[in-house]
Amino acid sequence: MGRSSVLTITAVSCILFGSAAWQLNSHYSSAQAAQPQSQAQPPAPQLQPVSDTVSTSTKPATNPAQQLTAAPGTELYTAKRGEAIPTIARRYLGKTSYLTSSQLADAIRAANHKSDASNILKANEQVIIPGILAAPITEKTIPVPRDFEVRAIYLTGVMAASDHGLRIIRHWREVGGNAVVFDIKDSDGSVNIPFEHPLLGQHKVYIHDVPKLVRFLHSQNMHAIARIAIFRDERMVVEHPDLAVHSRKTGQPWRENGKLVWTDPSNPQVQDYNIALAKHVAQLGADEIQFDYVRFPAEGDQKDAAFVFQKDQPAAPDASTAAVPVSDVIPTAAQSAGGGTLRQPPAQQQSTGSPRTSKSARHADAKPTTPQRTDVITAFLKKAYAELHPTGVLLSLDVFGVMAWQRQVDLSHTGQDIVGMAHYCDVLSPMIYPSHFFGMDNIPHPGDEPAHFIGESMQRFEQITHPDGNLATGVVIRPWLQAFRWRTKTYSPEYIKIQVETARAKGGIGFLFWNAANDYSKPYEAMPEMKAANFKPVPDSKDASKNNPRYFRGDELPAATIKASLVPGN
């Protein structure tokens, strides 16, 4: 075969092979086009950066579109495995606007769409923490005149900072109350708030944020009264025995009926510590500072008790062998609930003379040439008032109800000279619980005679502080009233009403209800009834009118001031 033949055969073969390939490809393309789109092959996987790969021991990365973001006023928290919402709430409470950790825990559940029973979180689970504050809350005192009509209940420090306490406050407001007394320092010396002082050291805190609590009270249109028990301070005596009252016989801390509870009221360190605490609370926004136990110890071996102010004085004979009556010692929680005994034994006493003729033996006798306990208490109050008055707070003092009788033994032991004290405070609050007037006026069951003992006590206090109708001191008498059933068979809403009506009729302005267990069920019932009957005519009386309400005026805090105090940044 020649060269030309070979070339011809090769060319024809190439043409035939190309034609066959074209037909085959055309057939395959047609088949592919005939298949539905859902059968298309997925794209090839792309390589991920090393930082985006996930090991089998960690949680896969969350889709960016599903990431939680912290809105203004919130914060994101990543939980550890098994961590509980209440634990997180306690940790964050101080950074939020919530008053209690349980309130914050409920808010966390709501913000994260969890059920009320939800508690345990998963590892790396992110949760939103609501109510985050940009800065700590600061609150200002709302100044009121000293004759502002306070209608208050008392709460322990533990109760005031609890959910139940907040419910009590709201309920009291609903029925017509306008103020709350809450413990800053109780009579065992325990301080319930954060406070740094060389004499205090570490202590259990219950009210973690005073400005926050005061702001809550202000938001409820309520007057905030901070109670401080002054010289009865067991904690201080135990930790600093040198600040206690001392025994003349042994030189050791003196005991009142076997108990180590009294600091020396004349010791400058003790005085300065209490004034510093009061001033601190005033600067946190409280509207009123209330001093309790502003006195010397009234029980025990008085001849054996030695005080700093007596350092250069000879031992003075005891004014009387009788103990000072403790007719109005504040009862314990058990007593308020209807049982128990007094912490101190009562002494029998009789009222002598009418309030308009009875005079203090101290003022009637020649004035002693050496300082007395009354001088110490009055001087302390003068110093405290000078420190507190410029802050805008009111200063009120709790005093024994029996001081209205102005007996020499009472004055010499307690140091509570009512006239002297009245010059350095805005309000006097005598503790005139009827059940505590043991043996007085030949009445065997004083607890069942509230009208008599409230009326007699108030009349005497008014006469002492406002003789002949003159506002000699300008002080307001605002009594502590009985809100517990101890030693009375007649405790009821009517019992509450009798006390309030009698105190007002005898010159009192406002009132404070005491119950150590913080049970105010009877005042809750009585308040609406008193409000409804306030301006109704009283049989055989011409006193009921719009200008002279039967029970209380109904004073309220100035609305504009409250609104201003709640504006952020104020």
Q: Which residue has the tokens 């302005």?
A: 509
pLDDT for 377: 98
Mean pLDDT of the chain: 82
Q: Is 409 helix (H, G, I), strand (E, B) or coil?
A: helix
Encode pLDDT of 12-58 as tens digits: 454 444 444 444 344 434 433 333 333 333 333 333 333 333 333 33
pLDDT for 419: 92
Encode pLDDT of 94-117 as tens digits: 999 999 999 999 999 999 999 999
Query: What's the N-to-C CA distance of the chain in angstroms?
Result: 115
pLDDT for 67: 62
**pLDDT tier at 230, thresholds 50, 70, 90:** very high
Encode pLDDT of 233-242 as tens digits: 999 999 999 9
Encode pLDDT of 273-313 as tens digits: 999 999 999 999 999 999 999 999 999 999 999 999 998 77
* Residues 6 or more apart whose Cβ sits within 8 Å of residue 103: 163
Interval 151-162 mean pLDDT: 97
Q: Quick check: 360 and 445 in contact, CB under 8 A?
A: no
pLDDT for 170: 98
**pLDDT tier at 561, thresholds 50, 70, 90:** confident
Q: Which residue has the tokens 């809105």?
A: 71
Residue 485 has pLDDT above 50, yes or no: yes
Encode pLDDT of 136-152 as tens digits: 999 999 999 999 999 99
pLDDT more than 70, % of the chain: 74
Q: Which of 131-135, 268-272, 293-297, 531-535 has the lowest mean pLDDT?
A: 531-535
pLDDT for 342: 31
pLDDT for 369: 75
pLDDT for 182: 98
Encode pLDDT of 311-326 as tens digits: 877 655 544 333 434 4
Rounded Cα distance between 173 and 178, Å, is: 6
Residue 463 has pLDDT above 60, yes or no: yes
Q: Which of 376-380, 436-440, 533-537, 542-546 has the lowest mean pLDDT?
A: 542-546
pLDDT for 316: 54
User: Which one has a higher pLDDT value, 380 or 564?
Assistant: 380
**Distances, alpha carbon 527 to alpha carbons 3, 156, 180, in Å:** 131, 22, 15
pLDDT for 314: 65
Helix residue ranges per DSSP H, 117-266: 157-160, 163-175, 210-219, 234-239
Q: Quick check: 226 and 281 in contact, CB under 8 A?
A: yes
Q: What DSSP designation does 385 have?
A: H
Q: Quick check: 396 and 354 in contact, CB under 8 A?
A: no
Model's pTM, two decimal places?
0.81
pLDDT for 343: 30
pLDDT for 68: 72
Rounded Cα distance between 457 and 481, Å, is: 12
Encode pLDDT of 329-345 as tens digits: 334 443 443 333 233 32
**Distances, alpha carbon 111 to alpha carbons 12, 36, 64, 96, in Å:** 82, 48, 20, 14
Q: Which residue has the tokens 């090991």?
A: 55
User: Which one has a higher pLDDT value, 336 or 88?
Assistant: 88
Q: Which of 194-198, 410-414, 464-468, 511-515 has the lowest mean pLDDT?
A: 464-468
pLDDT for 440: 85
pLDDT for 367: 61
Comparing CA positions, the residue from 535, 569, 529, 559 lying closest to residue 549 is 535
- Percentages helix, strand, coil for the chain (3-state, rounded to 5) are 40, 10, 50
Residue 376 has pLDDT above 80, yes or no: yes
Residue 386 has pLDDT above 80, yes or no: yes
pLDDT for 3: 46
User: Which one has a higher pLDDT value, 371 or 362?
Assistant: 371
pLDDT more than 90, % of the chain: 68
**pLDDT tier at 382, thresholds 50, 70, 90:** very high
Q: Quick check: 558 and 140 in contact, CB under 8 A?
A: no
pLDDT for 2: 52
